[in-house]
Each structure stands twice: as structure tokens, then as C-alpha cells.
Amino acid sequence: MTPPPGLQVPPGSVCRLRRALYGLKQAPRAWFERFSTIVEAAGFTPSIHDPAIFIHSSPRGRTILLLYVDDMILTSDDSAHIAFVKQKLCETFLMTDLGPLCYFLGIEITSHPDGYRLSQQRYTLDLLDRFGLTNTHTAATPMELHLQLRASDEVPFSDPSRYRHLVGSLVYLAVTRPDISHAVHILSQFAAASTSVHYGHLLRVLRYLRGTSSHGLFYSHQSTLQLQAYSDATWASSLDDRASVTSYCIFLGSSLVVWKTKKQQTIAKSSAEAEVRALASIVQEVLWLRSILQDFGVPIHSPIPIHCNSTGALQIAADPVKHELTKHISVDAHFTRCHVRAHTVSLRYLPTEVQVADFFTKAQTPP
């Protein structure tokens, strides 16, 4: 680092920085510590489950502040307290009040009489324009049925950075588009060594998005505040390493709030083993959501139902007997069993035909 003009530094000496400069490693931490000090002085308390969420409770209601780098969302039962918080922040920081929430980090939020709608239509159209997809051809689904991709398919793609850039953009787009989650999960596995075949299927996802750019998520005012979860797993579905895939989704009433598709880190020797690992993953997520809702003033006293279509996994999670064939996954089984006994979750069987989480494990038909 070069000393600023006008500062005479003797040879062999170093300068001590009294403030964190923008772009240095310590700058984000210094900014967050400064912001936390100001909002805590205003009566906010950081959530122990998410340090970027600050909560203020009073007889007039509850105020919640969400911080993402230097962008924030502020909501409250008391509009007067929102104005007070804005004034306090403006006294310390140079801020711009953008008014009611309508656009945040590329996500468009639209208010309707019966709920809220989240979409990334502008982001989608910008993505299509950036990658030059100007034709009007569309695809009915993000991925072909029963498609099996391998790392050795065809010749290496000539522009791997373009492939990685596109995959990264689609990963962020999947924040409001659960319909492309499975396709993005499959195609992102080849970002390190993509081929022309992989890139062709990536373009199919773009063609699908062209015809469905206005799709998004809707959160109804009439939705209940009860969590319900769905867990599923595919066994040895990866042709390259025979790894299984965990998939789950969680609803708050009728509103989809969490979904995930992820390859398991260890190789499962049976489908029941893969399902047990998926159950442990979704129990972790459900416990965190339960705690966040309590911070928001929404206590959940009844066990949260988790629906699974594997009778073997349900028996392993419910049976306290240590079996010879399941001792290598006993940690996941005991973790799930512990919370079943504590009545924080309840495991329920659901046939595969109506298993919602199955949507995230394989390519689907247009209906």
C-alpha cells in the first residue's frame, strides 16, 4: 500500500490505519460494528439466529430491521417508529429513503389486496439480453425428462468463463424461481469443466425463462403461520460419483419459504440411508425457521410436520434400537429422533405421488 500524497514516511517504517478503508478485508466488519452500535443504541437487539436482523419490541408493536451490506428493509407495527428509526439513521449515515418496499437486491416486490408477489422479471430480461438470446424460441420445461448428464459428455466448451457466469446468474435467479432449481443444480456441477452438451442444456433453461419471465412467488395474507415440511432424496443419482441428492421444501401455511436441492457429501449405500440424511438436513432448517419466527413474534408450540415418502427412513428415525446396518449414520438418525421425542417435529408418511419435494429431485413435465 502506498502512503497518501503529502505524508512523509521514513524508510523502513509502516503506517497505522486509524480507520478501515473501503476495499480492505476489515472494512465490512468495521462497518457492521459501527452500524450495530447505532441501532442497538436506538433500542434494537440483534437476533441470535441471524445477526443481520435487528428487533425492537415495545407496547406499540415490534419493529424489524434487516441489513444486507448497506441495503436495509425496515418494517413495523407502528409507522411512527419507522419514521423515528429513519431519522436516527440519517443523523449518523448518509442514507436514501426509497419509500415502500418495491425492489430489493434484484427482487421485485408487488403489493396486492390479497398478498405480496415476489419476482425477478427485470433481472431475467436483463440476463437474456446480456447473453444475446434474442430469438423468440421458448422451451416448455427447464430440462428434458430422464436426462442423464456426465462430466465426459462431448468436447470441452470453448468459453468456460461464459458458462460459469451464466450458471452463477441462474443460481441467484433461483431465489424466486423454484421451478429451475433442479436444472441449475445439475448444470452447476459442471462449472469447472463444462462441455458443449452442458452449455446446450443451459441455453434450454434460458429459453424456458424467456417464456416464463413473469413467473414468481405469491404470499397470501390469508396464509396460516404454521410450518410444514417435505423431504425427499434420490439414491445414487449422479452417474459420475454415485452420490445421492437431498431435496426439501418448507411452507409457511400455503406460502413456499424455503427449498433446496443439494448433492450429499457422502455416498449412501441404500435409499433409506439417503432419506435419513435428507431428514436430518430438513430438521436443521426447520429448527432455524422456528427460532426466526419466534423472533418475529410468531411462537410455534405444536410439532412441525415433516412429510417423507420412505418408510425405511421413518422406521430408522423412530426406532431407538441400534441396528448393524445403520450404525454409520447413527448421528443423523439420533439427531432426528431427538427432536421427534422433544415434539419439535413430527414425521409423517406421504406417498410419492403427492410428495411435493419430488419436484426438486428430477425434471418435470409441463403440467
The Cα-based distances of 290 to 58, 106, 142, 296 in angstroms read 22, 27, 32, 10
DSSP characters for 122-133?
Answer: HHHHHHHHHTT-
Distance CA 207, CA 137 (A): 6
3-state DSSP assignment of residue 195: strand
Residue type, 264: Q
Q: What is the pLDDT of residues 122-142, one digit of tens each?
A: 999 999 998 887 777 899 999
User: Which position has the grid cell 429513519?
Assistant: 86
Question: How would residue 256 be classed by pLDDT, with cut points 50, 70 and 90?
Answer: very high
> Is residue 249 a contact partner of residue 356, using CB atoms and an 8 Å limit?
yes
Decide if pLDDT at 26 tops 90: no
Q: What's the confidence (pLDDT) of residue 1? A: 65
Return mean pLDDT, the chain: 91
> Is residue 304 a contact partner of residue 229, using CB atoms and an 8 Å limit?
yes
Q: What's the confidence (pLDDT) of residue 19? A: 75
Distance CA 365, CA 356 (A): 14
- Average pLDDT on 4-22 reads 81
- Residue from 63, 118, 75 nearest 100 by CA: 75
User: Which position has the grid cell 457466469?
Assistant: 165
DSSP characters for 47-66?
Answer: -SS-TTEEEEEETTEEEEEE
Q: What is the pTM (predicted TM-score) of this model?
A: 0.89
- Average pLDDT on 86-92 reads 91
Q: What's the confidence (pLDDT) of residue 3? A: 74
Q: What's the confidence (pLDDT) of residue 262? A: 94
Q: What's the confidence (pLDDT) of residue 107? A: 94
Q: What's the confidence (pLDDT) of residue 10? A: 87
Residue intervals in the chain for CATH 3.30.420.10: 224-360
Q: What's the confidence (pLDDT) of residue 25? A: 81
Decide if pLDDT at 40 tops 90: yes
Rg (CA), the chain: 24
Decide if pLDDT at 191 tops 80: yes
The Cα-based distances of 342 to 76, 151, 302, 335, 336 in angstroms read 33, 44, 11, 11, 10
Q: What is the pLDDT of residues 164-174, one digit of tens each?
A: 999 999 999 99
Q: Which uninterrupted H or E stretch holds 119? A: strand 115-119
Q: What is the pLDDT of residues 280-338, one digit of tens each?
A: 999 999 999 999 999 999 999 999 999 999 998 998 888 766 666 677 787 888 899 99
**Pairing label, strands 227-234, 304-308:** parallel
Q: What's the confidence (pLDDT) of residue 52? A: 94
Selecting from 3.40.640.10, 3.30.420.10, 3.40.50.150, 3.40.50.920, what CATH number does the domain 224-360 have?
3.30.420.10
- Cβ neighbours around 248 below 10 Å, total: 28
Q: What is the pLDDT of residues 53-83, one digit of tens each?
A: 999 999 988 999 999 988 999 999 988 999 9
- Cβ neighbours around 218 below 10 Å, total: 16
The b-or-e profile of 163-178 (16+ CB within 10 A means b, else e) is: beebbebbbbbbebbb
* Percent of the chain clearing pLDDT 70 (strictly above): 98
* Percent of the chain clearing pLDDT 90 (strictly above): 68
Distance CA 92, CA 30 (A): 15
